[in-house]
């Protein structure tokens, strides 16, 4: 009997839990450190007062070993530390961590991750509705256009359970920063707010959420996107694969100084007066291009 050939990465216990495309662009295990992820600072010129209000909630992600009051240290899925992204303690507060990259060829790419969602564990209750949403935004640009695919899992809104996937293609108004003295080289737009989201067809999904707010459950996520056609190719969470044929990214003309940009941006949003947390155990970015 001839046994099927297994992918080479299956021999690596860290990589074998992913399904990468042939070329690995970044493999970030956060037990090894921050791996290039940082805070999003709103654009400005001359003074920080030019930062748009929506960016002022955002702060630096941190490494966390999952310590909590009940039993001590939880750790990550496959190591000691995860990347922790925390909102402010107020409804609709959004925070983000991103990795700034560039691409060498317009080709299919794929972003995979293992993540956990948690509220701030200040009450001895389940608290599952305190987490508003988490999401992934890609910020891409070629010579002619800037494209921003947005997807999020909306867990709760105004205290009501939602549990569904959404995407966003609505453009937000760009602003020249710098006031009357603007150089014209730096713009800004806040595109992470609650407006403009559209439900993914068939996108309802109930995620595993354990019985008390100090327990962690790790989930698998995968997003596929084609840099040549600038279109979605895949959306998956755990065992569910969703139809992306009608999903549209946010599209606009090219902005100055951003050629070949490939930013990977993870977001977390609160639905209460508690902080909401997104934990990332590891993230794998892969692509499919020939040697050249």
**Domain layout of the chain by residue ranges:** 20-287
Q: What is the DSSP letter of 135?
A: E
Q: Quick one: which of 274, 282, 266 has its CA closest to 118? A: 274
The pLDDT of residue 43:
58
140: burial class by Cβ within 10 Å (0-12, 13-18, 19+)? Answer: buried
The pLDDT of residue 80:
95
The pLDDT of residue 122:
86
Cα 145 to Cα 217: distance, rounded to the nearest angstrom = 38
Cα 82 to Cα 116: distance, rounded to the nearest angstrom = 10
The pLDDT of residue 3:
55
Is-contact 29 282, C-beta < 8 A? yes
User: Where on the phi/psi map is residue 213: left (φ > 0), alpha (ψ -120 to 50), or beta?
Assistant: alpha
Query: pTM of the predicted model, to two decimals?
Result: 0.89
Give residue 281's pLDDT band: very low, low, confident or very high (50, 70, 90): very high
The pLDDT of residue 49:
61
Q: Quick one: which of 50, 59, 51 has its CA closest to 93? A: 59
Is-contact 162 153, C-beta < 8 A? no
The pLDDT of residue 39:
81
According to CATH, what is the number of the domain 20-287?
2.60.120.260
Selected residue with higher pLDDT from 203 and 191: 203
pLDDT tens for 88-112 read 999 999 999 999 999 999 999 999 9
The pLDDT of residue 4:
60
Contacts of 291 (CB under 8 A, 6+ apart): none
Q: How far is CA 156 from the centre of its chain?
A: 17
**Strand bridging mode 38-39 / 94-102:** antiparallel
**Strand bridging mode 145-148 / 72-73:** unpaired
Angle 225-228-232 from CA coordinates, rounded to 5°? 25
């Amino acid at each position: 009997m001839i046994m099927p050939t297994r992918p080479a990465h299956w021999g690596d216990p860290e990589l074998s839990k992913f399904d990468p495309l042939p070329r690995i662009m970044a493999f970030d295990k956060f037990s090894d450190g921050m791996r290039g992820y940082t805070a999003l600072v709103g654009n400005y010129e001359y003074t920080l007062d030019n930062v748009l209000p929506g960016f002022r909630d955002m702060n630096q992600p941190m490494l966390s070993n999952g310590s909590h009051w009940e039993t001590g240290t939880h750790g990550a899925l496959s190591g000691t530390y995860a990347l922790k992204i925390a909102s402010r303690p107020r409804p609709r507060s959004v925070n983000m961590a991103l990795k700034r990259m560039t691409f060498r060829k317009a080709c299919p790419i794929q972003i995979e991750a293992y993540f956990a969602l948690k509220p701030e564990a200040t009450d001895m209750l389940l608290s599952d509705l305190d987490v508003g949403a988490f999401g992934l935004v890609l910020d891409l640009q070629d010579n002619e256009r800037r494209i921003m695919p947005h997807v999020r899992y909306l867990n709760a809104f105004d205290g009501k359970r939602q549990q569904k996937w959404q995407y966003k293609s609505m453009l937000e108004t760009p602003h020249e920063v710098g006031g009357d003295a603007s150089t014209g080289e730096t713009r800004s737009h806040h595109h992470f707010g609650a407006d403009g989201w559209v439900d993914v067809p068939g996108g309802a999904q109930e995620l595993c959420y354990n019985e008390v707010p100090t327990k962690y459950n790790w989930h698998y996520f995968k997003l596929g996107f084609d840099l040549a056609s600038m279109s979605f190719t895949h959306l998956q969470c755990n065992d569910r694969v969703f139809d992306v044929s009608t999903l549209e990214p946010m599209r606009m003309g090219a902005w100055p100084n951003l050629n070949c940009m490939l930013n990977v941006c993870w977001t977390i949003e609160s639905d209460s007066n508690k902080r909401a947390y997104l934990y990332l155990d590891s993230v794998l970015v892969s692509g499919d291009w020939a040697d050249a």
